[in-house]
C-alpha cells in the first residue's frame, strides 16, 4: 500500500482525510485553499495538509504515531448514543 500522498489535519490533531497518489490529481484545491469542511470531530475550521505523510523520505511535520485519542459521540439509527475513539496527532509543527 504505501503512504498517502496528502493528509489533512485540523489544528486539534484530528485526521480529516487522506488521499492516495492516484487520487491527488482529482483534488481541486487552487493553491492550497482551506479544506472545504470543518472537522467532523471537533468542528474546528483551521485545517492544513501534510504532503507524503508517513513517508520517511520526506520532511514529516506530523508524526505518524498518534499521541492520544478523543471520544466522539455518535447516534445509531435507533437513537442510541455511543462513543468511538478518534486518534489525535501532534500537529504543532504543521500549524506553526
Q: Is residue 95 part of a domain?
A: no
Q: How many domains does the chain have?
A: 1
Q: Is residue 93 part of a domain?
A: no
Q: Is residue 57 part of a domain?
A: yes
Q: Is residue 48 part of a domain?
A: yes
Q: Is residue 41 part of a domain?
A: yes
Q: Rounded to whole angstroms, what are the CA distances from 6 to 47, 50, 67, 83? A: 13, 6, 20, 28
Is the pLDDT at 2 greater than 80, yes or no? Answer: no
Q: Is residue 32 part of a domain?
A: yes
Q: What is the pLDDT of residues 59-70, one digit of tens each?
A: 889 999 999 999
Q: Which domain holds residue 77?
A: 6-88
* Cα Rg of the chain, angstroms: 14
Helix and strand numbers, DSSP H then E, in the chain: 1, 5
pTM for this model (two decimals): 0.79
Cβ-based neighbours of 77, under 8 Å, separated by 6 or more: none
Q: Is residue 46 part of a domain?
A: yes
Amino acid at each position: 500500500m504505501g503512504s498517502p500522498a496528502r493528509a489533512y489535519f485540523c489544528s486539534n490533531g484530528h485526521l480529516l482525510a487522506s488521499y492516495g497518489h492516484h487520487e491527488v490529481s482529482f483534488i481541486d484545491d487552487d493553491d492550497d485553499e482551506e479544506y472545504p469542511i470543518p472537522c467532523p470531530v471537533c468542528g474546528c475550521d483551521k485545517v492544513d495538509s501534510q504532503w507524503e505523510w508517513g513517508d520517511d523520505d520526506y520532511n514529516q511535520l506530523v508524526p505518524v504515531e498518534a499521541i492520544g485519542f478523543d471520544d466522539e459521540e455518535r447516534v445509531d439509527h435507533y437513537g442510541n448514543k455511543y462513543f468511538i475513539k478518534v486518534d489525535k496527532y501532534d500537529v504543532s509543527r504543521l500549524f506553526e
